[in-house]
Amino acid sequence: MDLFREKALADKVVFIAGASSGINLGIARHFAAHGARVSIVSRSADKIASAAASLVADGFEAIGMAADVRDFSAVEAALKQTHAQFGPIDIVISGAAGNFIAPAAQMSSNGFKTVVDIDLIGTFNVLRGAYPYLNKPGASLISITAPQGTNPMMYQAHVCAAKAGINMLTKCLAMEWGAEGIRVNAISPGPIADTEGMRRLSPTSESDAALKSRLALRDYGTTKDIADTALFLASDNARYITGTVVECDGGCKLGDASPMAADEYVIRA
């Protein structure tokens, strides 16, 4: 498949969970622009209807349904409807997530559970729910994880635990489902500009500047950076890639590993 061809995903059916906004809606739009038929879901009926309407208004083939990823039967119903309307599913993106900043000592058990339920259990529900409806061999499943899945971060115990679980789930499903020609991978975005995720983690221009100084590439990524990575992983060009977490993160973990930000070193002339 030539990824640079205008309709590289023509006739492909894509199911995307958590696509009423942000990165996942960006992936939906990018895939639709490459010719895919996209089915998007999220919790809020209003938000997902308006996201789907915006795709249709741009001339794309898209449907939207409300489903809370914590509810397996709701996810199953959305997948069943997608299959009935569009046929077997070629590509699944599991990206629904929740986050807030909270020190572990002040986090309630339900606060921790809520994020693990949405991110990790929700991802199992989406991928397991999709299994009977996949077009195989050749199906590509992609979860959206985060740097928190490999690097511990302050006040992010819930997200770190949930995303680490997604990384391991990716590898286990890749092993179990590879024989049927199903590839299972994850993308780990770094800080992505103009997203709800970054509004919650970095609320001021000062915190943005401090964070950028710790990134190898010194800037936030865009939703298109993640959509391009997803397009590659979803395509046959990635036919021999499975069980991986692809980092599209501006080198943010390299920055985290350094003891000081670059600007804090004094270099002698």
Q: Does 155 bind ligand HXC (CB under 6 A)?
A: no
**Contact stretch for ligand NAP (CB under 6 A) within 2-10, 20-28, 235-243, 250-258:** 20-28
**Cβ at position 81, least distance to ligand NAP in Å:** 15
Distance CA 186, CA 233 (A): 9
DSSP 8-state symbol, 133? G
Distance CA 246, CA 199 (A): 23
Which CB atom, from 114 or from 150, has the smaller least distance to ligand HXC? 114
Which CB atom, from 111 or from 243, has the smaller least distance to ligand HXC? 111
**Contact stretch for ligand HXC (CB under 6 A) within 54-62, 169-177, 191-199, 214-222:** 191-199
**Contact stretch for ligand NAP (CB under 6 A) within 36-44, 54-62, 208-216, 252-260:** 36-44
Q: Which of 52, 118, 127, 174 binds ligand NAP (CB under 6 A)?
A: 118
Find, among 13, 45, 9, 38, the residue nearest to 134 by Cα: 13
Tell me the CA distances in angstroms from 184 to 66, 136, 187, one per residue in order.
25, 13, 11
Output phi, psi for 84, to 5 deg.
Answer: -65, -40
- Could you tell me which residues are beta bridge partners of residue 192? 221
Q: Does 111 bind ligand HXC (CB under 6 A)?
A: yes
**Contact stretch for ligand HXC (CB under 6 A) within 49-57, 72-80, 123-131, 190-198:** 190-198
Going by C-beta distance under 8 Å and a sequence separation of 6 or more, which residues neighbour residue 80?
133
Beta pairing class for 140-144 and 37-42: unpaired
Q: Does 52 bind ligand NAP (CB under 6 A)?
A: no
Going by C-beta distance under 8 Å and a sequence separation of 6 or more, which residues neighbour residue 205?
none
Going by C-beta distance under 8 Å and a sequence separation of 6 or more, which residues neighbour residue 238?
140, 183, 185, 232
Q: Which of 2, 59, 84, 108 binds ligand HXC (CB under 6 A)?
A: 108
Q: Where on the chain is the footprint of ligand NAP (CB under 6 A)?
A: 18-24, 42-44, 47-48, 68-70, 95-98, 118, 122, 144, 146, 189, 191-192, 195-198
Q: Where on the chain is the footprint of ligand HXC (CB under 6 A)?
A: 97-100, 102, 107-108, 110-111, 114-115, 146-147, 159, 191, 196-197, 200-201
